[in-house]
């Protein structure tokens, strides 16, 4: 018996010792937060937060209101009747542009009023239909993100400081290629997405069926202009509303209001005015990148500062540069016989005279 106790007691003491050491190690080296592979995190967050990724048909009304210092015409209402990814109806109402677009698979019926579909409205529409820009590119970014009640992490295809809506200078040859998505909490939830042409923040999450969806969308435009969209109505799609999802006529692509992002070189090949050499040959590390958006006739209708390589020197003149950019004229962008609105990055040299 004595020998048996001798054999047991040292082992018991060893177990106790390692248990105590384990507690001490956890105190000094707490376990790492759980993580998810990037692609898994994106897919899970979309399933949780994106209404169009859920299984429940819905009817939604989003009201867009600008802050006090913004132009009064930057207000709109977006109404979405959603059955599934190939059957839905979207209605846009604003002062200068309205649209009814019904999608039944490959059949599209569209009615537009106004000759220009502005980016500030399209940002909200895109965020509702497809909250993650360039989804496939972001899913291919290697790595994993932490998840947890206090976790906040982002996945980016490029320097996250660079975007068309960032107020921070950054150097990048092709700002139009940058994409980013940020997450928060354990689900995880999508709290923001970013690309060259759009920056959307998501807030005020609340349950809708099995999902946890954002009821507030903030469209972060340049110059610290924040347009807020609030979901003022969200309900299951009523059977009586399904008749609104049926197309009655076919609108061919040439009659649809379509927009596409092109490279800077493609945009320059279409530029008719101005012909300033300084615009066409910007100096390295001394340029201002702007975002331009044209109507289908090639007139610039929106222009925002994207990035600057020269800090305050160009920031001081950015307003006059952007006003001048609104006078630029491009050849109409036509792809396979279809006229498009065009959006593109455009670098301007510091020698450019914005008179």
Tell me, what CATH number does 217's domain have?
2.50.20
Instruction: Print the domain residue range for 293.
Output: 259-349
Dihedral (Cα; 35, 40, 45, 47), 10-degree rounding? -140
Res 70 pLDDT > 80: no
HSE-CB of 139 using CA atoms within 13 angstroms? 12
Same domain, residue pair 308 and 236: no
Average pLDDT over residues 94-110: 97
Q: Which of 255, 276, 308 is the last residue of a domain?
A: 255
Q: Are residues 151 and 296 in the same domain?
A: no
Concatenated DSSP letters of 62-114: EEEE--TTS-TT--EEEEEEEEETTEEEEEEEESS-EEEEEEETTEEEEEEES
Q: Which residue has the higher pLDDT, 23 or 303?
A: 303
For residue 82 the two structure tokens come to 């959603």
Same domain, yes or no, for 175 and 287?
no
Please report whether residue 296 resides in a domain. yes
Does the pLDDT at position 170 exceed 80? no
In this structure, the answer to whether residues 157 and 242 fall within a common structural domain is: yes
Q: Is the pLDDT of residue 257 over 80?
A: yes
Q: How far is CA 16 from CA 13, 21, 24, 118, in A?
A: 5, 9, 12, 69
302 vs 175, higher pLDDT: 302
Does residue 30 sit within a domain?
Answer: no
- Please indicate whether residue 74 or residue 232 has the higher confidence score (pLDDT): 232
Q: Mean pLDDT over residues 221-228, rounded?
A: 79
d(CA 97, CA 78) in angstroms, rounded, equals 12
pLDDT at 160 over 70: no
CA distance 285 to 87: 48
Phi, psi for 15 (deg, rounded to 5): -60, -45
Q: What is the pLDDT of residue 32?
A: 59
The pLDDT, as a whole number, for residue 151 is 87
25 pLDDT higher than 50 = no
- The mean pLDDT of 66-84, rounded to a whole number, is 87
Same domain, 155 and 296: no
Instruction: Give the number of domains in the chain.
Output: 2
Identify the pLDDT of residue 166: 37
User: Residues of the chain with pLDDT > 70: what percent?
Assistant: 76
What pLDDT score does 351 carry? 62
| Banded model confidence at residue 54, pLDDT cuts 50, 70, 90 | very high
Task: Return the top range by mean pLDDT from 13-27, 213-227, 243-257, 275-289.
Answer: 243-257
* 64 domain residue, yes or no: yes
The answer to whether 260 and 339 are in contact (CB under 8 A) is no
In a shared domain, residues 270 and 284: yes
Give 308's pLDDT tier (boundaries 50, 70, 90): very low
Q: Choose one of 200, 234, 255: the last residue of a domain.
A: 255
Question: Is residue 3 included in any domain, yes or no?
Answer: no
User: Helix %, strand %, coil % for the chain, to 5?
Assistant: 25, 40, 35
Q: What is the mean pLDDT of residues 287-299?
A: 91
61 found inside a domain: yes
In a domain, 233, yes or no: yes
- The overall average pLDDT reported for the chain is 83
Q: At which of 255, 272, 297 does a domain end?
A: 255
Give the highest mean pLDDT range of 229-238, 266-275, 304-313: 229-238
Q: Lowest-confidence range among 100-104, 115-119, 348-352? A: 348-352
> Is 329 within a domain?
yes
Same domain as 196, residue 106 = yes
User: 333 and 202 in one domain?
Assistant: no
Would residue 16 count as lying in a domain? no
Q: What does the pLDDT read at residue 323?
A: 83
Give the best-scoring range by mean pLDDT among 23-27, 125-129, 271-275, 321-325.
125-129
More confident residue, 135 or 273: 135
Residue 174 pLDDT: 62
The whole-number pLDDT of residue 234 equals: 98
Question: What integer is the mean pLDDT of 171-189?
Answer: 79
Nearest to 182 by CA among 164, 211, 155: 155
The alpha carbon dihedral of 82, 85, 88, 93 has a sign of positive
- Do 318 and 194 share a structural domain? no
Instruction: List the single range of 62-71, 91-100, 156-165, 200-209 with lowest mean pLDDT.
Output: 156-165
DSSP 331: P
Domain check: are 275 and 315 in the same one? yes
Q: Are 299 and 166 in the same domain?
A: no
Judged on CB neighbours under 10 Å (0-12, 13-18, 19+), 154 is middle
Stretch among 127-131, 147-151, 213-217 having the lowest mean pLDDT: 147-151
Residue 350 has pLDDT above 80, yes or no: no
* 228 & 91 share domain: yes
Q: How far is CA 340 from CA 125, 351, 354, in A?
A: 18, 31, 27
């Amino acid at each position: 018996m004595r020998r048996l106790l001798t054999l047991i007691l040292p082992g018991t003491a060893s177990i106790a010792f390692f248990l105590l050491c384990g507690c001490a190690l956890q105190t000094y080296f707490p376990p790492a937060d759980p993580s998810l592979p990037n692609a898994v995190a994106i897919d899970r967050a979309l399933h949780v937060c994106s209404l169009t990724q859920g299984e429940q048909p819905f009817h939604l009304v989003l009201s867009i209101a600008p802050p006090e210092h913004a132009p009064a015409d930057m207000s709109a209402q977006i109404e979405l009747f959603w059955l599934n990814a190939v059957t839905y109806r979207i209605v846009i109402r604003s002062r200068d542009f309205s649209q009814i677009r019904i999608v039944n698979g490959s059949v599209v019926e569209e009615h537009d009023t106004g000759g220009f579909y502005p980016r500030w409205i399209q940002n909200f529409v895109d965020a509702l239909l497809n909250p993650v820009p360039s989804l496939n590119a972001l899913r291919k970014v290697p790595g994993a993100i932490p998840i947890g009640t206090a976790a906040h992490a982002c996945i980016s295809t490029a320097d996250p400081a660079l975007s068309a809506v960032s107020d921070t200078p950054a150097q990048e040859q092709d700002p139009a290629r940058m994409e980013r998505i940020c997450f928060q909490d354990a689900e995880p939830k999508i709290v923001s997405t970013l690309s060259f042409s759009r920056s959307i923040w998501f807030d005020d999450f609340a349950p809708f069926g099995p999902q946890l969806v954002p009821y507030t969308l903030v469209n972060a435009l340049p110059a610290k202009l924040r347009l807020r969209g609030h979901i003022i109505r969200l309900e299951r799609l009523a059977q009586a509303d399904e008749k609104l999802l049926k197309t009655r006529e076919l609108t061919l692509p040439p009659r649809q209001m379509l927009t596409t992002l092109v490279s800077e070189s493609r945009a320059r090949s279409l530029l008719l005015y101005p012909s300033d050499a300084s615009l066409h040959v910007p100096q390295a590390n001394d340029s201002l990148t702007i975002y331009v958006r044209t109507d289908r006739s090639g007139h610039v209708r929106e222009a925002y500062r994207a990035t600057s390589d020269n800090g305050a020197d160009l920031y001081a003149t950015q307003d006059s540069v952007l006003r001048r950019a609104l006078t630029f004229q491009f050849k109409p962008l036509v792809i396979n016989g279809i006229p498009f609105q065009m959006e593109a990055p455009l670098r301007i040299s510091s020698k450019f005279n914005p008179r």
